[in-house]
C-alpha cells in the first residue's frame, strides 16, 4: 500500500513538473513570437522610413535602409557600409575643421567630433546635431539633421542614426534672412515702421524704425530678451499705440480697422497723429491687411506699415493757407488784383470791374 502511494506521489510530481515545463515552454515560445513580431515591425519601419536610417557599431556602419542609399548615392548596402564614416562628410579629414552651417551660432567640427557625438548618444540616450554630408556618386554636398540614439540589438549596444536632408529648409532660411536684411534696410532708410498684431490678443510687434520714428527707447517699450528680433513685442501691446494717438483721430482709426476686419474693405488705411516721445505730434499713414486666419475663420495676424507723412501734411496746410489768401484777394471789393503773363490779362478780381 505504501509502495502504491509512493508511486502515485511520484507520478503526480512528474505530472506537475511536466506541466511546469510546458508552461515555461509556452511562455518562452510566446516571448520568442513577440520578439519575432517586434523584429518584423522594426524591419518594416526601418525599410519604409522616409528618413535615412543607418545602424552603427564600433564606429562603423553595419546596415542601412533604402532611403540611406538614395540620399547618399550608394548602389547597395554593401557599398554603403564598406566606406568609413568620414567618407560621407564634406571634405573632412582628421586634421581639418569646417563650419557646418555658417550661421551666427555655428561651431567648428572635426572627425573627433563624430566620436564625441556617438559618445554623447551612448551616455544620454540620444543626440541631435546638423552636419554637411557628401554623396558617393557625385561628391555633391547636402545639409542634414542627424539624430543619434543608443539601442540594443541582440543584447549588444548599437547606434541608430537618422539623417534628414534639410537642404531646402536651409535655403529657405537663407532667403528669409536675406529678405529680412533687405526689409530692414528699406524700412530704415525709407522711414517705414512695420508692425503686426493678433486682433484676438491685441499684442503688437514692431520693427526698429517704428520706435525710432516716435523717439521711444527699446528698453522702456519692448519686452525683455527680444531686442535682437526683427519684430519686437511691445510691453503694452496694441494699447501702446492707442494711448499715443491724437484723441480726435482715434475713432477714425478704429473704424478703418473694423471695416477691414469685417471684410468691408480689401485694405486697411488710416491717417492719424501720434504723440512722439518729445511731446510733439507726428502725422502717419497706416496701411495694412489681414494675412492669416485660424481654423474658425477668425483673423489672427494683421500686417502693416506706418509711413511718416508729416512733411506732406505740412505742405498741404501751406497750400490750403495760400489758397485761402488768394481766394480772399480775388473776392475783395476794395483791392484790385490782376494776373498777367506780361502781355495778356489772365485773371482779375471783382474790384477790377
Are 263 and 190 members of one domain?
yes
pLDDT of residue 151: 84
Q: Are 202 and 237 in contact (CB under 8 A)?
A: yes
Are 345 and 224 members of one domain?
no
In-domain check, residue 252: yes
Are 298 and 183 members of one domain?
yes
In-domain check, residue 32: no
Among the three residues 165, 191, 215, which one is the final residue of a domain in this structure?
165
Dihedral angle computed from the Cα positions of residues 104, 110, 115 and 117, in that order, rounded to the nearest 10 degrees: 10
Are 144 and 193 members of one domain?
no
Number of Cα atoms under 13 Å in the Cβ half of residue 230: 15
Are 192 and 105 members of one domain?
no
In-domain check, residue 34: no
pLDDT of residue 14: 59
Helix (H, G, I), strand (E, B) or coil at 244: coil
In-domain check, residue 241: yes
**Best CA proximity match to 75, nearest among 135, 161, 159:** 135
Dihedral angle computed from the Cα positions of residues 67, 72, 77 and 81, in that order, rounded to the nearest 10 degrees: -130
pLDDT of residue 289: 93
Looking at residue 155, what DSSP letter applies? T
Are 77 and 152 members of one domain?
yes
Residues facing 107 on adjacent strands: none
pLDDT of residue 95: 41
Are 187 and 303 members of one domain?
yes
Phi, psi for residue 222 in degrees, rounded to 5: -100, 145
Are 79 and 183 members of one domain?
no
In-domain check, residue 18: no
Residue 281 and residue 212: Cα distance in Å, rounded? 14
**Best CA proximity match to 270, nearest among 282, 280, 259, 256:** 256
Q: Are 324 and 316 in contact (CB under 8 A)?
A: no
Among the three residues 137, 165, 193, which one is the final residue of a domain in this structure?
165
Number of Cα atoms under 13 Å in the Cβ half of residue 107: 6
Q: Which helix (H) or strand (E) holds 146?
A: strand 141-153
Per-residue pLDDT of the chain in tens (353 residues, 90 and over written 9): 555 445 555 556 555 665 665 556 556 566 655 555 555 555 666 777 888 999 998 888 999 999 999 999 999 999 999 988 878 887 454 344 333 334 344 344 455 666 777 777 777 778 888 888 899 998 889 988 888 988 887 788 888 899 999 888 888 777 766 666 666 665 565 678 999 999 999 999 999 999 999 999 888 899 988 878 888 999 999 999 999 999 999 999 999 999 999 999 999 999 999 999 999 999 999 999 999 999 999 999 999 999 999 988 888 888 877 776 666 655 655 554 445 555 554 455 555 45
Are 140 and 207 members of one domain?
no
Residue 185 and residue 240: Cα distance in Å, rounded? 25
Looking at residue 326, what DSSP letter applies? H
Are 134 and 69 members of one domain?
yes
Among the three residues 131, 165, 199, which one is the final residue of a domain in this structure?
165
Are 333 and 230 members of one domain?
no
pLDDT of residue 342: 55
In-domain check, residue 8: no
Residue 330 and residue 219: Cα distance in Å, rounded? 56
Please give the order of strands across the beta sheet that includes 126-134: 60-64, 52-57, 156-165, 141-153, 126-134
Are 119 and 211 members of one domain?
no
The CATH number of the domain holding residue 201 is 3.30.450.20
In-domain check, residue 5: no
Residue 19 and residue 13: Cα distance in Å, rounded? 10
Residue 75 CB partners (closer than 8 Å, separation 6+): 69
pLDDT of residue 274: 97
Domain span at residue 343 reads: 325-352
In-domain check, residue 336: yes
| Grid coordinates given for 64 | 542601412
pLDDT of residue 88: 85
pLDDT of residue 327: 63
Helix (H, G, I), strand (E, B) or coil at 316: helix
Instruction: Please give the tally of structural domains in the chain.
Output: 3
Q: Are 189 and 181 in contact (CB under 8 A)?
A: no
Amino acid at each position: 500500500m505504501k509502495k502504491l502511494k509512493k508511486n502515485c506521489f511520484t507520478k503526480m510530481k512528474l505530472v506537475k513538473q511536466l506541466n511546469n515545463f510546458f508552461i515555461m515552454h509556452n511562455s518562452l515560445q510566446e516571448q520568442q513570437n513577440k520578439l519575432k513580431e517586434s523584429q518584423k515591425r522594426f524591419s518594416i519601419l526601418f525599410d519604409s522610413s522616409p528618413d535615412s536610417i543607418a545602424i552603427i557599431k564600433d564606429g562603423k556602419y553595419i546596415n542601412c535602409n533604402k532611403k540611406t542609399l538614395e540620399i547618399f548615392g550608394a548602389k547597395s548596402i554593401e557599398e554603403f557600409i564598406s566606406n568609413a564614416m568620414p567618407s560621407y562628410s564634406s571634405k573632412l579629414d582628421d586634421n581639418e575643421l569646417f563650419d557646418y552651417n555658417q550661421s551666427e551660432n555655428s561651431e567648428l567640427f572635426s572627425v573627433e567630433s563624430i566620436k564625441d557625438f556617438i559618445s554623447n548618444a551612448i551616455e544620454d540616450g540620444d543626440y541631435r546635431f546638423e552636419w554637411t554630408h557628401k554623396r558617393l556618386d557625385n561628391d555633391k554636398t547636402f545639409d542634414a539633421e542627424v539624430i543619434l540614439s543608443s539601442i540594443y540589438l541582440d543584447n549588444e549596444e548599437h547606434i541608430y542614426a537618422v539623417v534628414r536632408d534639410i537642404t531646402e529648409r536651409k535655403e529657405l532660411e537663407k532667403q528669409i534672412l536675406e529678405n529680412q536684411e533687405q526689409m530692414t534696410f528699406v524700412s530704415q532708410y525709407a522711414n517705414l515702421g512695420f508692425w503686426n498684431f493678433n486682433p484676438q490678443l491685441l499684442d503688437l510687434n514692431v520693427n526698429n524704425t517704428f520706435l525710432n520714428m516716435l523717439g521711444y527707447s527699446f528698453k522702456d517699450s519692448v519686452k525683455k530678451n527680444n531686442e535682437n528680433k526683427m519684430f519686437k513685442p511691445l510691453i503694452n501691446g496694441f494699447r501702446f499705440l492707442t494711448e499715443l494717438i491724437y484723441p480726435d483721430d482715434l475713432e477714425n482709426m478704429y473704424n478703418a480697422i473694423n471695416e477691414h476686419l469685417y471684410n468691408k474693405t480689401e485694405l486697411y488705411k488710416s491717417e492719424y497723429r501720434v504723440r512722439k516721445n518729445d511731446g510733439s505730434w507726428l502725422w502717419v499713414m497706416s496701411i495694412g491687411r489681414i494675412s492669416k486666419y485660424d481654423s474658425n475663420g477668425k483673423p489672427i495676424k494683421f500686417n502693416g506699415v506706418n509711413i511718416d507723412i508729416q512733411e506732406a501734411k505740412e505742405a498741404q496746410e501751406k497750400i490750403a493757407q495760400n489758397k485761402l489768401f488768394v481766394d480772399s484777394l480775388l473776392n475783395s471789393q476794395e483791392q484790385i488784383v490782376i494776373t498777367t503773363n506780361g502781355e495778356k490779362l489772365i485773371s482779375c478780381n471783382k474790384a477790377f470791374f
